[in-house]
């Protein structure tokens, strides 16, 4: 048998191959983690602490000289160890649920440096947001009324940002485009005056306009798109200031959305520095504190889903690698038809072209199609790369699959940072019920 040693496929140095052809995360072989966890804990997610730190530092360095908040979008990866690490580095948080607010507070986030987003925030969530004194996005007329009700109930003013749709096309998948005129998020830019009047009439002790916000979408690959949106948003800031309606206006939230190198074809993607340098003059001229909401670009390339090969089969002209990882653990390919790079974690046989699929009873259950990989032995590992964002958080129990274990690597050590579910965990919802 020909032994194929995988090439270094990950552009991040924290994921690489050793001289024997085994994938290594920082200083730990993936196979060693796989063997230690055992079959019952497969598949699993592995994250690199060093890569998360490097990604955060890229934003911090890019924002040098700019008054800014780097607000980590917790929806990307809500592992508590990840959130605590980013809090320790100085990150704020961007939240889309009451549970995320609780997690941010437990992880040590400064709530004055957090933003509560969402088009359907509940009264209970809004009361908690007001109590914590985080910034709250106004997303609609009813949302403005609900925020005002929460502020009156708590006896505290709500510090709000108006989320305006600048109607700039981010040129991404429709499911992750959020700033167009017909988006379910935000307000029509032509309707801004209504919200300014509402906030003014509510009174300073109820609603305080702290800034404006836009979010174009996710996986954006052109920084010119951010510049176009920033120009539009600064125009709104000037209009508001000229009207004298915002004595507390301080923040310009430009959202997140920078893409990462999922495809690995040598495409040159914009960095945080590219983004900030494109809009730096506008930010400094506006005298504002900029809020950024990175999620994917902070944690995406810091993670991988590691699956165990169950077997290889051929149907017609297609060869399949069947793994214990599936759309239940990682749904992005099935949901968005997203491309995610797949790599062997150890040497294998002769290289061929395979569809990598899981055991879930759906034809849409694939992790990648037409992938060039060394023929794997049964029980060997495959890694879906760049799976640190929007992967574990979107996992499900479909086919009674269990949410996977998460592991954090720090140098030459690793530890479990979230236990995988057991069958008994799946049955907890029945406890005390006559079923």
3-state DSSP assignment of residue 128: helix
Catalytic residue among 361, 400, 427, 433: 361
| Confidence band, pLDDT 50/70/90 cuts, at residue 223 | confident
pLDDT at 209 over 60: yes
pLDDT at site 254 = 86
pLDDT at 183 over 70: no
pLDDT, averaged across the chain:
90
Alpha-carbon separation of residue 94 from 27, 52, 153 (angstroms): 31, 17, 24
- 182 or 409: which leads in pLDDT: 409
Q: Which of 10-24, 46-60, 185-199, 285-299 has the lowest mean pLDDT?
A: 185-199
pLDDT at 179 over 50: no
DSSP per residue, 181-241: TT-SSSEEGGGHHHHHHHHHHH-TTTEEEEEEE---BSSB--HHHHHHHHHHHHHHHHHHH
Give the whole-angstrom CA distance, residue 401 versus residue 395: 9
CATH 3.20.20.10: which residues of the chain?
A: 117-294
* Rounded average pLDDT over 137-155: 96
Give the whole-angstrom CA distance, residue 329 versus residue 43: 8
pLDDT at 180 over 60: no
The phi-psi region of residue 408 (left if phi > 0; otherwise alpha if psi is between -120 and 50; otherwise beta) is beta
391 is catalytic: no
Q: At a CB cut-off of 8 Å and minimum separation 6, what does 268 contact?
A: none
What CATH number was assigned to the domain covering residues 117-294?
Answer: 3.20.20.10
pLDDT at 176 over 80: no
pLDDT at site 10 = 53
| Confidence band, pLDDT 50/70/90 cuts, at residue 1 | very low
* Rounded average pLDDT over 240-262: 85
> Under CATH, what is the fold of the domain 15-48+301-428?
Lyase, Ornithine Decarboxylase; Chain A, domain 1 (2.40.37)
147 near 194, Cβ under 8 Å? no
* Rounded average pLDDT over 23-32: 98
pLDDT at site 6 = 47
251 near 161, Cβ under 8 Å? yes
Tokens of 413: 């050590």
pLDDT at 182 over 60: no
Burial state string for 146-164 with b = 16 or more CB within 10 A and e = fewer than 16 = bbbbbbbebebbbbbbbbb
pLDDT at site 11 = 56
Q: How many other CB atoms sit within 10 Å of the CB of residue 236?
A: 17
CATH 2.40.37.10: which residues of the chain?
A: 15-48+301-428
Give the whole-angstrom CA distance, residue 64 versus residue 60: 7
Give the whole-angstrom CA distance, residue 168 versus residue 225: 7
- For residue 49, the surrounding DSSP H or E stretch is helix 49-62
pLDDT at 170 over 80: no
- 164 or 171: which leads in pLDDT: 164
User: Tokens 């910034």 sit at which residue?
Assistant: 135
Tokens of 120: 């359907």
- For residue 332, the surrounding DSSP H or E stretch is helix 332-336
Sign of CA dihedral 76, 79, 82, 86: positive
* pLDDT digit string, tens, across residues 259-318: 889 998 877 788 888 888 888 887 787 788 999 999 999 999 999 999 999 999 999 999
Give the whole-angstrom CA distance, residue 121 versus residue 318: 46
65 near 43, Cβ under 8 Å? no
Radius of gyration in angstroms for the set of CA atoms belonging to the chain, rounded to a whole number? 23
pLDDT at site 268 = 79
pLDDT at 239 over 50: yes
* pLDDT digit string, tens, across residues 314-349: 999 999 999 999 999 999 999 999 999 999 999 999
Tokens of 236: 């709104």
pLDDT at site 245 = 66
The DSSP call for residue 220 is B
pLDDT at 172 over 70: no
pLDDT at 168 over 60: no
Determine whether 184 is exposed, middle or buried from the number of CB atoms within 10 Å of its CB (0-12, 13-18, 19+). Answer: exposed
pLDDT at site 189 = 72
- 119 or 146: which leads in pLDDT: 146
Tokens of 204: 């300073």
Give the whole-angstrom CA distance, residue 305 versus residue 391: 9
Instruction: Say what percent of the chain tops pLDDT 70.
Output: 92
* pLDDT digit string, tens, across residues 88-98: 999 999 999 99
Instruction: Say what percent of the chain tops pLDDT 90.
Output: 73
């Amino acid at each position: 048998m020909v032994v194929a040693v995988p090439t270094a496929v990950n552009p991040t140095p924290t994921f690489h191959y050793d001289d024997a052809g085994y994938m290594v995360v920082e200083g730990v072989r993936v196979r060693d983690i796989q063997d230690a966890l055992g079959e019952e804990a497969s598949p699993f997610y592995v994250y690199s602490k060093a890569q998360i730190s490097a990604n955060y530092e890229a934003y911090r360095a890019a924002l040098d000289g700019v008054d800014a908040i780097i607000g980590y979008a917790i929806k990307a990866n809500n592992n508590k160890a990840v959130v605590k690490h980013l809090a320790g580095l100085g990150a704020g948080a961007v939240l889309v649920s009451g549970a995320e607010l609780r997690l941010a507070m437990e992880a040590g986030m400064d709530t004055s440096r957090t933003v509560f987003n969402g088009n359907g925030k509940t009264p209970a969530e809004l009361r908690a947001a007001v109590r914590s004194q985080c910034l709250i996005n106004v997303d609609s007329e009813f949302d403005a009324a609900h925020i005002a009700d929460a502020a009156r109930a708590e006896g505290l003013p709500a510090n709000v940002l108006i989320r305006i749709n600048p109607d700039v096309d981010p040129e991404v998948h429709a499911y992750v485009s959020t700033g167009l005129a017909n988006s379910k998020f935000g307000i029509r830019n032509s309707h801004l005056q209504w919200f300014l009047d509402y906030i003014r009439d509510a009174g300073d002790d109820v609603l305080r306009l702290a800034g404006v916000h836009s979010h174009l979408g996710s996986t954006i690959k052109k920084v010119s798109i951010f510049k176009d949106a920033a120009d539009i948003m600064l125009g709104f800031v000037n209009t508001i200031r000229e009207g004298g309606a915002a004595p507390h206006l301080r923040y310009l939230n430009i959202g997140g959305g920078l893409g990462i190198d999922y495809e690995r074809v040598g495409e040159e993607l914009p960095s945080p520095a590219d983004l900030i340098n494109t809009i730096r003059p506008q930010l400094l001229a506006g005298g504002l504190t900029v809020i950024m909401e990175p999620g994917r670009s902070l944690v995406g390339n810091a993670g991988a889903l590691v699956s165990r090969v169950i077997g290889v089969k051929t149907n017609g002209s297609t060869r399949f690698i069947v793994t214990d990882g599936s759309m239940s653990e990682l749904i992005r390919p099935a949901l968005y038809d997203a491309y995610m790079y797949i790599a062997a974690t150890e040497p294998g046989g002769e290289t061929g072209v395979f569809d990598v699929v899981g055991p879930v009873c759906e034809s849409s259950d694939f992790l990648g199609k037409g992938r060039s990989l060394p023929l794997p032995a049964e029980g060997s590992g495959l890694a879906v790369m760049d799976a640190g964002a929007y992967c574990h958080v979107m996992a499900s129990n479909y086919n009674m699959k269990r949410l996977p274990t998460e592991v954090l690597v720090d140098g030459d050590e690793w530890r479990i940072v979230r236990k995988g579910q057991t069958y008994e965990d799946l049955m907890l919802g029945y406890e005390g019920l006559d079923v």
